[in-house]
């Protein structure tokens, strides 16, 4: 697989990474631990060198699975994890107090079975803790050899600039896809200016852009999409126009809808590295195949013109979660 560098940091990773969250959290029952480990190792065997986890995924379980899976190949891969919630629980308020950041780093090192975390993200901006204190604490951890690179997730322009002035930010991780293009307005220009890489999560629209979710879809109690307005029956029905459009483009190229969605992201900037997740080997292979899909300038223009005719319905988060992003 091709490699990419996240901004000016020099951190080189596979052009497509693996978002490990769904193996343990967010989309229903956790995958069997042994099967999850096999899938993570299969991703590495197919060229993936960038693996994303967080203490909040479980909590804690996902980091343990990732740590066990990657231990034999630790020095060949880049592992990203996150701090930023009380007790590592994403249903609780943010907590980026310096003492908490230090605690999370030490605990994550043990769960990940490593002596250094390659990329340590603040999971959400904490309005109660000055960003200077957050970045300063991570800078201390870098100096101590526990962290290599600093990242932010779902942060706004002011937070990015403030953090970057204290400790260079290697990557921003936020949602970005064909059906959530908000980062194009303010975020991408700032990242380009400062030399920060971009790691889009949910690059397949939480599964919607694969074309496998229709308006009759239902989601289990443990599936996060159950509370997302964009996944209501009405919104799913309205948004089918986007999936149908992707299907037409994919058919013309002889690839899948998911591959078009990922190839489109890769074509936006050379420092963008999407991290699709899956629990299935054939989906993993399909996603990674997107790195070989070349979209010409003409292809991208056709997609842009077609998207301009599609009106996306539904918010990407319920209000209480939307309030946590863009700070």
* Alpha helices (H) in 76-174, listed in sequence order: 98-111, 131-143, 157-166
Q: What is the pLDDT of residues 248-263, one digit of tens each?
A: 999 999 999 999 999 9
Domain residues for the domain of 192 are 3-209+268-293
**What is the distance of C-alpha 259 from the center of its chain?**
17
- pLDDT attached to residue 190: 98
Phi (first) and psi of residue 266, to 5 degrees: -60, -30
Mean pLDDT, residues 126-152: 98
Q: How confident is the model at residue 132 (pLDDT cuts 50, 70, 90)?
A: very high
**Beta-sheet strands, E only, within the chain:** 3-5, 12-14, 18-19, 50-52, 78-83, 117-122, 147-153, 169-175, 197-201
Residue 142 has pLDDT above 90, yes or no: yes
CATH code assigned at 32 = 3.20.20.100
Question: Does any domain span residue 19?
Answer: yes
Q: Which of 120, 217, 246, 134 is nearest to 171 (CA)?
A: 120
The count of structural domains within the chain is 1
Angstrom distance (rounded) from CA 238 to CA 236: 5
Question: Does any domain span residue 84?
Answer: yes
Q: Does residue 317 have an active-site annotation? A: no
Angstrom distance (rounded) from CA 297 to CA 308: 17
Question: Does any domain span residue 235?
Answer: no
Question: Does any domain span residue 282?
Answer: yes
Residue 49 has pLDDT above 90, yes or no: yes
Q: What is the pLDDT of residues 187-209, one digit of tens each?
A: 999 999 999 999 999 999 999 99
Q: Which of 55, 14, 18 is nearest to 37 (CA)?
A: 18
Helices 61-70 and 33-45 cross at an angle (nearest 10°) of 50
Angstrom distance (rounded) from CA 18 to CA 251: 25
Q: Which of 111, 48, 1 is nearest to 281 (CA)?
A: 48
Residue 184 CB neighbours (<10 A)? 11
Mean pLDDT, residues 29-50: 98
Model pTM score: 0.97
Question: Does any domain span residue 111?
Answer: yes
Angstrom distance (rounded) from CA 73 to CA 71: 5
Question: Does any domain span residue 43?
Answer: yes
Q: What is the pLDDT of residues 223-282, one digit of tens each?
A: 999 999 999 999 999 999 999 999 999 999 999 999 999 999 999 999 999 999 999 999
Mean pLDDT score across all residues of the chain: 96
- pLDDT attached to residue 307: 87
Question: Does any domain span residue 50?
Answer: yes
Angstrom distance (rounded) from CA 269 to CA 132: 29
Percentage of residues of the chain with pLDDT beyond 90: 96
Cβ-contact 13, 49 below 8 angstroms: yes
Longest Cα–Cα distance of the chain, Å, equals 54
Pick the catalytic residue: 27, 44, 57, 176?
57
Mean pLDDT, residues 2-11: 97
CA angle 185/132/123 to nearest 5° reads: 60
């Amino acid at each position: 697989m091709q490699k990419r560098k996240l901004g000016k940091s020099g951190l080189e990773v596979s052009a497509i990474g693996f978002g490990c969250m769904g193996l343990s959290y967010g989309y229903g029952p956790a995958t069997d631990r042994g099967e999850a480990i096999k899938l993570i190792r299969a991703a590495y065997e197919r060229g993936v060198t960038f693996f994303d986890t967080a203490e909040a995924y479980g909590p804690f379980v996902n980091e343990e699975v990732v740590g066990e899976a990657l231990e034999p190949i630790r020095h060949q891969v880049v592992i990203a994890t996150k701090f930023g919630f009380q007790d590592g629980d994403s249903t609780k308020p943010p907590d980026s107090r310096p003492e908490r950041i230090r605690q999370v780093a030490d605990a994550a090192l043990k769960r990940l079975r490593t002596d250094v975390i390659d990329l340590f993200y603040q999971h959400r901006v904490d309005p109660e803790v000055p960003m200077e204190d957050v970045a300063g604490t991570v800078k201390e951890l870098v100096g101590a050899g526990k962290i290599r690179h600093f990242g932010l997730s779902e942060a706004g322009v002011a937070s990015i600039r403030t953090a970057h002035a204290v400790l260079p930010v290697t990557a921003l991780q936020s949602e970005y896809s064909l059906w959530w293009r908000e980062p194009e307005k303010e975020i991408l220009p700032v990242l380009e200016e400062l030399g920060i890489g971009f790691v889009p999560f949910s690059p397949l629209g939480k599964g919607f852009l694969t074309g496998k979710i229709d308006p009759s879809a239902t989601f289990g109690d443990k599936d996060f999409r159950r509370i997302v307005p964009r996944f209501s029956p009405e919104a799913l029905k309205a948004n089918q126009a986007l999936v149908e459009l992707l299907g037409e483009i994919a058919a013309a190229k002889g690839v899948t809808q998911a591959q078009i969605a990922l190839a489109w992201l890769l074509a936006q900037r050379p420092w963008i590295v999407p991290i699709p997740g899956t629990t299935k080997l054939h989906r993993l292979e399909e996603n990674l195949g997107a790195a070989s899909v070349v979209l010409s300038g003409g292809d991208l223009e056709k997609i842009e013109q077609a998207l301009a005719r599609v009106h996306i319905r539904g918010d990407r988060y319920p209000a209480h979660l939307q309030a946590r992003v863009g700070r």
